[in-house]
Chain A
Amino acid sequence: MPSILEECIGESCAVGAHSIEDYQSEMPRWCKGCGDHGVLAGLQRVMRKNNVDPENVVAVSGIGCSSRLPHYLRTYGFHGIHGRALPISTGVRLARPDMKVIVTMGDGDCFSIGGNHWLHAIRYNIDAVVLVLDNEVYALTKMQVSPTTPEGWKTNTTPRGTYLQPMNPIGVVVGMTNVSFVAQTATWLPAHLDETIEKAWDHKGLSFVRILQRCPVFMPQAFGEGGLNFPVTFLENENGIPVHPGLLKRGPAKPHNHLDINEALQVAASVDPAPMGLIYHNPELPTYEETRFGRRKRPDHDTFLKRLNSTMDRYAV
């Protein structure tokens, strides 16, 4: 007779339970202290928790430090070109709605060179987990100003300080038609980060997550030295991201109804303190691929030929 423990192990093996190692590829080559490591680990954990088969996940990225992430996942991955991760992801979803899609981009990648795709992807509402790893600087190209660099900060292209106020990407996203999921978290809050990624994973539709993380090499002072001195407010809701008591050392919590777009817009407009948690959620919106597939027919070969033939009749003389 097998013991209960042996039975459990046997059963979990039988259903093909995956281990963290199943989602790990080569050793990440990011700098020491970079927040990208934490996001990678969070993604691996959420896949493990959902026991998803690695061959059914496609990780898509653009160009930049964070866009190396697909290299370090043992799933399918597409490390593309600067700013264009979202169109590729849309194509993957339109071709293969059976694939889980993860998109990782940086702040320059998503908000600047990929800005147009970003706006429209929100509106398409494809089903994908979209993580923007925002370090408020172009790091891979060695410290140029990004759309989110704080006003007055010095970079190699703004040696006497930046000229403009930083963009508030959360405000842009919540203001976009057909938005379905918006959250903000930070890599210096690992449990909050993990739980945000999980929530994003579970959402059907485009889950937009802005992850604040400082670049330890080019912008170590960002986010109050990486969260040490960065004012935040945690958004509290029983269906939102849990606010564990430990977090309250970082900032206060306030109740927030993330299902209410007007409340969400109000929260999205505030940048200091930065709102952390689930800002807006509409689980009911149809995805673009659902809408498109819903209208599409799948004829068998004979029907296909019959239809092609009758189409050709229209042009017959």
Chain B
Amino acid sequence: MSGPRLVRLPESIVEIVSDAGEGAQKAAVSFAQVCAKAGNGLWTVEIIPSEIQPPPHTTGSASGNRIRLAEQSPVTNVGNLANVVFAFNEMALLSRYEAKSVADDALILIDNQWATHAIESYQQSYREVLAMAREKGATILEVPLEEETLKHVDNPQHGKNMFAVGLLCALFNKDLEILKEVIQGVFKKKTREVIDTAIRVAIAGYQYGLANLESQFDVPALPTDDEKVAMNGNTALALGAIAAGFDLCSMYPITPATSASHVLSEIFEDFGGFVHQAEDEIAAIGVALGASYAGKTALTITSGPGMALKTEFQGLAVMTETPLVIVDVQRGGPSTGLPTKIEQGDLLHCLYGTPGDAPKVVLAASTIEECYYILSTAKKIAEEFRMLVIVLSDANLATGQQLFTRPDISRTSRRAPLDLSPVPEGSLPYDWDPVTGLSQRFIPGQPGGMGVITSLNHDRNGKACYDSERNQRGHQMRSRKLAALQKSLHPPEINGDAEGELLLVGWGSTKGAIEEAVEQARSNGLSVSSVNIQFLSPLPPGLKKIFSRFKKVMTVELNYSDDWDDPLINQENRRYGQLAWLLRANTLLDIDCYAKVPGRPLMPIEILEEIQKQVRQEPVTSNL
């Protein structure tokens, strides 16, 4: 037998889906680790149902992962349509077609037990879904997944996923030895017997692949000297919180933020910190604020609905100028919305959700690597400016895995002990610098610094006061800190030429997809550039200048906006995406938006289509 033919590819997108609880997640994590260890660039995203045990064999039960692997690292986004789908049943496969996530010419691997299953309706839907896939142009490989797995284990639920991962490793020409090593790691808390069985089933899958595949894909890893790590954004936030020197994370469980607290709960105590799970979202920020007031800048981590509950305490942090860091891992809203899926809809809430004028710093991570570093920046700003800093992440960063350069631990700052030296006589609790609004706070325990800090308007002495002059002054001083911070920021870097037809502006995790689309468009000769904004409050300097060099400026965001051709919609009533709203107000330029809420990351290809639509549009109407 000659064996499969080897096809070399620069990258590939693989989806593995099963019923919830059948282990596609674990198979995907194992496969991703094999690719990572082989040195492939990597981005993964979870496909998760919102329920723990949804009814099996339905599209709503599909659970798994998408893995984009490439020659080069870093991979910056989840990519376009899937090239390979490994489905444990046809409904899981159908769910991926319904999500418009599968390429027409995809290779589909599917368990063939349903073709002859005792339940008639399964047989029928299996035939129908496969016929649909074939019609689109898919190549289908029916795999006796259950049957083969049963040769090694009594319960196929505990083994099918390992057979699948073995088969995928054969398909992608991966080293079997690496796979064995990965499986040992994935099951390290299990018994020797469980590990041995898992490895045996995986080898069987691998051998089945070699014997039955017509072709193998080879996505070779380009050599690199960099040491790499692979983790998801919530893990990166957790490790970043430790490295930043936080001692306390006070939280209340909420999807998709909670897993950061799981990581912290596991290890934080070894580093001198701990996680406090409070009785509710309000208490979570209250405890963090109390700890910050007492001298230990604390962190609270939540998602949209939690942010809503925390707004009153945010106002208190702003009013008392107590440093505090909130991480908002955004999900789809409003209300409970799409708890496990991505959206960027908390932007304006973070900026303006607090009643009254409450200036605060808002910044966003755009990659998983940035999730690691961003909390050090946030903590520093919070402490130096006595400000509330909100760090935005999202469900895509939270649950996706990315390969990135291993952080240099030796550069982690030493955590300074609390300075409890006496406060010099005559010092004031709000000794505002008239230009920057900055002042030095007193920490409980400092002799001579006694006094109350209050949620009421107050003067330099910290005393409550109600007169118009001192109310105006308090607002001025709190606001001026933002201007002082803005002066230290740099204009954002432009991806592409500094002038042209179209500028795309994004923030957060859409960065990778936008840049990939822009690079593709530019290689096709289109005049387009992009900018990613990290600081949303204060906005960085130079935006108007940058925007003015393009004929059209358009935000790309995972937010709702009315489309121009929607019924009733005109120039007067169109609601723009949140970033567009913000930038229009800030620059007084007529900024358009490509804003939608698909509940999944944007694919580069859909952004590319929008670029083509915009740049071809002649003449470009704009009053920039």
Contacts and interface: CB of A to CB of B under 8 A. Distances in A.
Interface of A: 25-26, 53-56, 58-60, 63, 70-71, 73-81, 84, 86-96, 98-99, 116-117, 119-120, 292, 295-299, 301, 304-305, 307-309, 311-312, 315-317
B9 interface: no
Contacts of B225: none
Contact of B286 (A84, A292, A305): A84
7 contacts: A55-B450, A76-B452, A120-B283, A296-B272, A296-B273, A297-B271, A308-B242
Nearest to B411: A305
Given A95-B247, A299-B271, A317 B230 contact: yes
A96 B298 CA distance: 12
Nearest to A69: B452
Contacts of B298: 91, 95
Contacts of B280: 116
A309 B444 contact: no
Nearest to B420: A55
Contacts of A298: 272
B286 A79 contact: no
Interface of B: 33, 36-37, 39, 227-231, 235, 239, 242-243, 247-248, 250, 267, 269-274, 276, 278-280, 282-296, 298, 312-313, 315-316, 320, 403, 406-407, 409-410, 412, 414-415, 442, 444-456, 463-464
A308 B372 CA distance: 13
Nearest to A97: B294
Given A94-B248, A116-B279, A309-B409, A304 B287 contact: no
Nearest to B242: A308
B250 A54 contact: no
A99 B453 contact: no
A301 B294 contact: no
B295 A312 contact: no
A76 B451 contact: yes
Contacts of A93: 290
Contact of A92 (B247, B293, B448): B293
Given A90-B290, A91-B288, A99-B294, A55 B312 contact: no
A86 B316 CA distance: 15
5 nearest CB pairs, A to B = A91-B290, A87-B286, A77-B452, A95-B291, A88-B290
Contacts of A78: 290, 293, 320, 452-453
B486 to A, nearest CB: 29
Contacts of A94: 248, 274, 276, 287, 290-291
A120 B451 CA distance: 28
Please indicate which of the listed interface residues B298, B449, B454 has the most CB atoms of chain A within 10 Å of its own CB: B454
Contacts of A307: 267, 270-271
A295 B269 contact: yes
A309 B243 CA distance: 10
Contacts of B242: 308, 311
B456 to A, nearest CB: 7
A66 to B, nearest CB: 14
Contacts of A299: 270-272
A59 B442 CA distance: 15
Given A92-B444, A116-B283, 9 more contacts: A55-B448, A91-B248, A91-B294, A94-B274, A297-B271, A304-B272, A304-B415, A308-B242, A312-B239
Interface of B is mostly: mixed
Contacts of B296: 95-96
Contacts of A309: 409
A92 B269 contact: no
B25 to A, nearest CB: 17
Contacts of B276: 90, 94, 292
Most chain B C-beta atoms within 10 Å of own C-beta, residue among A59, A307, A309, A312: A312
B228 A87 contact: no
Contacts of B412: 304-305, 308
Nearest to A70: B452
Contact of A55 (B37, B229, B449, B456): B449
B516 to A, nearest CB: 23
Given A308-B412, A311-B267, A96 B444 contact: yes
A295 B312 CA distance: 32
Contacts of A88: 286-287, 289-290, 293
B169 to A, nearest CB: 15
Nearest to B448: A55
Most buried by A among B285, B312, B455: B455
A76 B279 contact: no
B106 to A, nearest CB: 27
Contact of B269 (A87, A297, A301): A297
Contacts of B313: 81, 84
Q: B229, B412, B444, B463: which has the most chain A beta carbons within 10 Å?
A: B444
A292 to B, nearest CB: 6
Nearest to A298: B272
Contact of A317 (B286, B289, B294, B403): B403
Contact of A89 (B231, B271, B290, B409): B290
Contact of A96 (B239, B267, B287, B445): B445
B301 to A, nearest CB: 15
B447 A77 contact: no
Nearest to A304: B271
A270 B242 CA distance: 50
A59 to B, nearest CB: 8
A95 B445 CA distance: 12
Nearest to A76: B444
A51 B448 CA distance: 16
Contacts of A297: 269-272
A59 B290 CA distance: 12
The residue among B36, B248, B449, B452 with the most chain A CB atoms within 10 A of its own CB is: B452
B450 A315 contact: no
A164 B538 CA distance: 50
Contacts of A296: 269, 272-274
A124 to B, nearest CB: 9
B112 to A, nearest CB: 34
Q: Which of B278, B283, B290 has the most CB of A within 10 A?
A: B290
A25 B410 CA distance: 48
A120 B453 contact: no
Contacts of A86: 283, 286
Nearest to B228: A317
A75 B450 CA distance: 5
A89 B33 CA distance: 44
Contact of A312 (B229, B279, B456): B229
A92 B272 contact: no
Contacts of A74: 450-451
A91 B295 contact: no
B461 to A, nearest CB: 10
A93 B287 CA distance: 9
A51 B406 CA distance: 53
Q: Which has the most chain B C-beta neighbours within 10 Å: A70, A75, A316?
A: A316
Contacts of B446: 55
A95 B229 contact: no
Contact of B291 (A26, A60, A71, A92): A92
A37 to B, nearest CB: 17
A125 to B, nearest CB: 14
A71 B274 CA distance: 32
Nearest to A301: B414
Nearest to B296: A95
Given A96-B444, A315-B229, A79 B456 contact: yes
Contact of A315 (B235, B287, B292, B409): B235
A63 B316 CA distance: 12
A96 B417 CA distance: 12
A119 B296 CA distance: 26
A87 B455 contact: no
A95 B294 contact: yes
A99 B418 CA distance: 14
A90 B231 CA distance: 33
A295 B448 CA distance: 34
Nearest to A22: B450
Contacts of A119: 279
